[in-house]
Amino acid sequence: MAVQDNIAGPPRTAFYNDPVIRGIIYQVLVAGLVIAFLTWIILNTAQNLAAQNKSTGFGFLFETSGFGISFTLIPFDRSSYYWQAFVVGLLNTLLVAVIGIFFATLLGFVLGVARLSSNWLIARCATVYVEVIRNIPLLLQLFFWYFAVLKAMPAVRQSFELPLSIFVNQRGIIIPRPLPDAEIFWVAVTAVLALVAAIAMVVWATRVRTKTGHYPVVVSRASRIAGLIVTFGVGYLAISLLGTVVPALSMGPVFPLIGALVLAGIGLSPYGRYGRVFIGFAIGWAVANFLLGGMFAGLGEGLIVLGAALVALGVAWTMLSADQRSAATEGKLPLALPVLIVIALPALVYWVTGASLAFEIPVLERFNFAGGLQLVPEMVALVLGLTIYTAAFIAENVRSGIQAVNKGQTEAASSLGLREGDRLRLVVVPQAMRVIIPPLTSQYLNLTKNSSLGAAIGYPELVNVFMGTTLNQTGKAIEVIAITMLVYLTLSLTTSAFMNWYNARVALVER
C-alpha cells in the first residue's frame, strides 16, 4: 500500500516580515529622512541668506585680507589674500601640534616609567606631577605660562642673556638664525641617506644574529673600529672642553690628543666603563660651567666652577651606577657604528663641498633686537601648556601599558641575565605598546584640537586667524566654519590612520 507523504513545508510569510528585507527597508527610510532633513536645512539656509541679501560661495578666499598677522611661517601682509591667511593659520596650528606631540611623548614616556621606579623619591615626584597637572584646566595653565611667566619677564633692554646668544624678555625668546648656503642641501640629503643606511644596517645585523647567534663578521669588526674612532673623538672633545674650566690643562692640542689615545685604549680593556664615566664627567663639568656662568654671571667664578663640578660628579655617579658593562659583548650591537655612519658621512660631504652654516646673532639696538629668530611668547606659552598638560595623560597610558604586561615576562627576562634597563627596553615596552598606542592616539588628537585654545592668548592659529578675523571681516560664517571643520576632521583622520597602521605593526600576531 502506497503511503503518501503529506509533510508540509515552512509557512510562507509576507516579504515585509523577512528580517533581511525589513532591515533594508529601515535603512532606506532612515537614509531618505536624513537626506530630506539636510536638503531642508540647505534650502532654508539659502532662503534666509537671500532674504538678508547675503551671497554664498568661496570667492572671498581670493579677496585682499587687509590685516596683518604677528607670527607667520610664510610671507604675509595686509595685501595678501584670505586663502593665504588660512594657510598661515593652518601652518601655525601644525607647528605647535607637531612640536607639542614630540615633546609630550618624550616627557610622558619618562614620567610613565618614573611612576613605576623603585626609587621612592622619583616615583612620588612623577605621581605628584601627574595628579596635579591633569587636574588643572588647560586654559588656566596657558594663562599661567603666558601672563604669570612669559609676560613677567624683563623689558627688552633688561633681557636675560642665556648661553649661545639666546635672550629672553617680554617679547619672547630670541635665538640665532641659521643661515645655510646652497651646498647645505647636499649635506642634508646625505644625512637622510646616512640615517636610512644606519637603520638598514642595524636591522640586517639583528636579523642575522637572530638566525645564527652572532652578528656578521664585517659588522663586528667595523663596530670595534668605530668604537675606537668615536671614543677617540669624544675623548679629544671632552679633554679640550675640560681645558676651558681648568686652564692648567689647556696646553695646546698635544695633551687632548694623548688623553684621547689613552681613553681609546681603556675602551678596549675590561675597564672601559671608567673611561666613559670620565668622558661624561669632563663634558658635564664644561657644559654645566658654561650654562651656570651664563645664567648666574653675578656669582663668583669659584662658586660657579664648584657648582659645575658637583653637577658633573652627579652625572658621573649616575653613569657609573647604570653602566655595569665590563666590555663589549655579542648581546647588543654597539651604537658606535651607526652613530659614526650618521655623523661621519654628512661631515665628510660638508668638508668636500665646502658648505658653510653661519648664524645671525641677535644684537640689541635702541628699542628691540636686530637679527636672530624671535619666538613669540604666545607660541612658547601654547607649546609649554600643551606639552606639560598632555604629557600627564600620556604618562598614565604608559604606566598602565607597562603594568598590563604579565609579571612572568619580567621574571623570564631576569632569568636570562638582562639588566633592568634592557628588560624594560627589550621585553616590557615592546609588549606594552599594544596597550599604550590606542589611548596615545586619543591624546595626539586632543593635543591637536586643544591648540585652538591658543586664540585665548593671542596665538595666530587657525581658529584665531580664520574663524576669528576672517569670519568677522567677510561674514562668510558657513563657509569659514565648514572649512575649519574639514581641516580638523582631516587632521584627526590622518593621525588616526597613521597610528592605526603603527598599532597593526606592533600588535601581537596570533597563530
Beta strands 373-375; 369-370: pairing state: unpaired
Looking at the fold, whether 86 and 115 belong to one and the same domain comes out as yes
Looking at the fold, whether 339 and 290 belong to one and the same domain comes out as yes
Looking at the fold, whether 144 and 209 belong to one and the same domain comes out as no
Looking at the fold, whether 418 and 348 belong to one and the same domain comes out as no
Looking at the fold, whether 34 and 96 belong to one and the same domain comes out as no
With respect to residue 404, please indicate whether it lies within any of the assigned structural domains: yes
With respect to residue 178, please indicate whether it lies within any of the assigned structural domains: no
User: Vertex 196, ends 191 and 199: CA angle to 5°?
Assistant: 125
With respect to residue 2, please indicate whether it lies within any of the assigned structural domains: no
Looking at the fold, whether 264 and 299 belong to one and the same domain comes out as yes
Partner residues linked to 64 by β-bridges? 81
Looking at the fold, whether 141 and 268 belong to one and the same domain comes out as no
Query: What is the count of structural domains for the chain?
Result: 3
Looking at the fold, whether 135 and 248 belong to one and the same domain comes out as no
Q: For cell 657604528, what's the residue? A: 337
Domain boundary among 308, 330, 358: 358
pLDDT of 6: 56
* Helix segments in 298-406, DSSP class H: 301-322, 336-353, 377-404
pLDDT of 325: 47
459's grid cell = 596665538
Looking at the fold, whether 304 and 331 belong to one and the same domain comes out as yes
pLDDT of 3: 54
With respect to residue 369, please indicate whether it lies within any of the assigned structural domains: no
User: Vertex 461, ends 455 and 462: CA angle to 5°?
Assistant: 105
What is the spatial distance between Cα 54 and Cα 102, in angstroms, rounded to a whole number? Answer: 44
Looking at the fold, whether 211 and 312 belong to one and the same domain comes out as yes
- CATH code (residue 398): 1.10.3720.10
pLDDT tens, position by position, for the chain (511 residues)? 455 555 555 566 666 667 778 788 888 999 999 999 988 887 887 777 777 777 777 888 898 988 889 888 888 989 899 999 999 999 999 999 999 999 999 999 999 988 988 788 888 989 999 999 999 999 999 999 999 888 888 888 888 877 678 888 888 888 888 888 888 888 889 999 999 998 888 888 888 887 887 788 888 888 888 888 888 888 888 888 777 777 766 666 677 788 888 887 877 777 777 778 888 888 887 888 777 776 666 667 778 778 888 888 887 887 777 655 444 444 456 677 888 888 888 888 888 888 888 888 888 887 788 888 888 899 999 999 999 999 999 999 999 998 888 888 878 877 877 777 677 777 888 888 888 999 999 999 999 999 999 999 989 999 999 988 898 888 888 889 989 999 999 999 999 999 988 888 777 655 4
Q: The domain containing residue 454 runs over which residues?
A: 82-161+375-506
43's grid cell = 534650502
- Is pTM beyond 0.85 here? no
With respect to residue 32, please indicate whether it lies within any of the assigned structural domains: yes
What is the spatial distance between Cα 391 and Cα 108, in angstroms, rounded to a whole number? Answer: 4
pLDDT of 399: 92
pLDDT of 290: 76
Domain boundary among 297, 325, 358: 358
With respect to residue 170, please indicate whether it lies within any of the assigned structural domains: no
Looking at the fold, whether 407 and 442 belong to one and the same domain comes out as yes
With respect to residue 59, please indicate whether it lies within any of the assigned structural domains: no
Looking at the fold, whether 421 and 321 belong to one and the same domain comes out as no
With respect to residue 60, please indicate whether it lies within any of the assigned structural domains: no
Domain boundary among 5, 36, 51: 51
Q: For cell 580638523, what's the residue? A: 488
